[in-house]
Structure formats: C-alpha cells, structure tokens
Structure 1
Amino acid sequence: MNLRCHSMITVPDGVYEFLAAVPDGQYQLPRWVACDLQEDHREGHVGFLQSMGEAEETAWWLAWSGTAGEPTLIQLPYCCEDCSTADACLLPDGHPGRHSSQLITALDLTPGMRLPVYEPSPSR
C-alpha cells in the first residue's frame, strides 16, 4: 500500500495572511496542512496550500523539515502537464516518490498521532 506521509504542521499566520491577500485563490485556505508526499520519503515535507487563477498553472506549497526550522512558503508548478486527467499528479514538479494518483490518504490516526489545533495569535 502506498500511503501519504503523516507529518502535519500549522500554517503560520504570516503565510496565511499573505495567501489570503493574493487575488484569484481557488480554494479555502487551511489553518494546518499535511505532507502530500509518499510515506517514508527522505527529504523535507511539502503540503499544498493554494492554487491561483482558473487555469491553476502553479501552486503555493508549505515546505518544512521534520526536525527544526520555520516552514517556508514556496511556489512551484504541478508535476502534471495536463492536470485535467483522472491520473494527473497534483504534487509539485520534481517531487520524490510516487505520483499523487498512486497514493492513499489514511483517514484514521495512528497511535500517538494528534491533529494540530489552530490557536490564533493575540490581536495587537
């Protein structure tokens, strides 16, 4: 079975606010994101945040390491050349592991795994 990675992270307020202000966002912005890559990948984590414009040629992703450091907002094209097909890969171009159409997202939590809880920053 080809599972997706289980790593999750809260979207930093600054990243959320930046993407919320960018015109033509196609999806509701998440407050937390899961890694979209294949389980047991060796490189950093990458999670989808937003796609811009009706054609959705490129997307914004949150990249983070499993050990330390602040998450980074990156803009990359999708892996697929024609993203309208059923087997199109909706991961960033150059990703490691299998394509998104070959991965399964586990809906149950493994022991010890917790969903992140969004806590807004205090108002200034």
Structure 2
Amino acid sequence: MFSPGERCPARIELSDFQILWLKRRPYATQPVRPDHECQLEFRHNGPHGALGQQCDDIEWWVRWTFSSSTVEQVTACPGVRDEPDEPGEDDSCLLFEGHPGRHSFDLGPW
C-alpha cells in the first residue's frame, strides 16, 4: 500500500469562507482550489497540511485534523537538497519550516 517516502493520502475540501479568504490575499500567485491533498510524508505526526496560497515570500497553509481545519501563515522550509538527481530539478523543500517527516524533494510526486 503506502511506504516511507510516499505522501500522505489525506484530503480536505475547503469551506466557502476559506476559499474566498485565500482568493483575497494581496499579490496571490496561485489559483485557489476547493480540494487539497496532504503534502506531508505518509504517517506524519500532527495535522495534515497543504499549501493554500502563496504571495511573494508569504505562504498560507491549510492545516487539518479529523475535527477541524485552519489556514495559517507559515515560513517556507529552508531545507535544500545537497545534489539534485537530475539537472533542473527543484533543490528546495516546498513544505513549511518545521514540517514533520522528510523534505518534499525526498517524497514521491504529487
């Protein structure tokens, strides 16, 4: 089924209020989707997480458990891969600072 290094299969559908709030962020760089997949490693500790919106150096992540969800402003993870496997591969972690589990570049694709 799932093994270490794979992404968590948890999903969430955002409320209308959360969608509207993310769409109204100044200088937003991404379209807002109503549904999100957890971007953390399978069997991680703590709440699930997915990038909800990005504006320059500011990121808002949707964090959720079985009973609640929130949108939090976070700092990007400073993790950098020592040597990319292939030229042009992203060598920066695309998760938030202090995330549980492996860096995004060590996980399977979305």
Per the TM superposition, whether the score is higher than 0.5 is yes
Residue segments in structure 1 that go unaligned for 5+ positions in a row: 107-124
Matched, 1:6 2:9: yes
Secondary structure of 2:73's partner? strand
How do residues 54-73 of structure 1 correspond to structure 2 at under 5 angstroms? Answer: 56-65=56-65, 67-68=66-67, 70-73=68-71
Residue number in structure 1 paired with 2:31: 28
Distance in 2 separating the partners of 1:64 and 1:105: 21
Partner deviation per Cα, 1:33-56 (whole Å, 9 max, x = no partner):
11110001121101111100xxx3
Question: Partners in 2 of 1:42 and 1:81 — Cα distance?
Answer: 19
Report what 2:93 is aligned to. 89
SS class of match (2:44): coil
> Percent of aligned positions with the same letter in both sequences?
29
Measure, in 1, the Cα distance between the counterparts of 2:9 and 2:26: 31
- State which of 78, 81, 88 in structure 2 corresponds to 1:80: 78
Equivalents in 1 of 2:46, 2:79: separation in Å?
24
Count of aligned residue pairs for this structure pair: 99
Please say which structure displays the higher CA radius of gyration: 1
Distance 1:26 1:81 in 2: 22
TM-score normalised by length of structure 1: 0.73
| Displaced runs of 4 or more, over 2 A | none
Instruction: Give the Cα separation in 1 of the matches to 2:109 and 2:35.
Output: 16
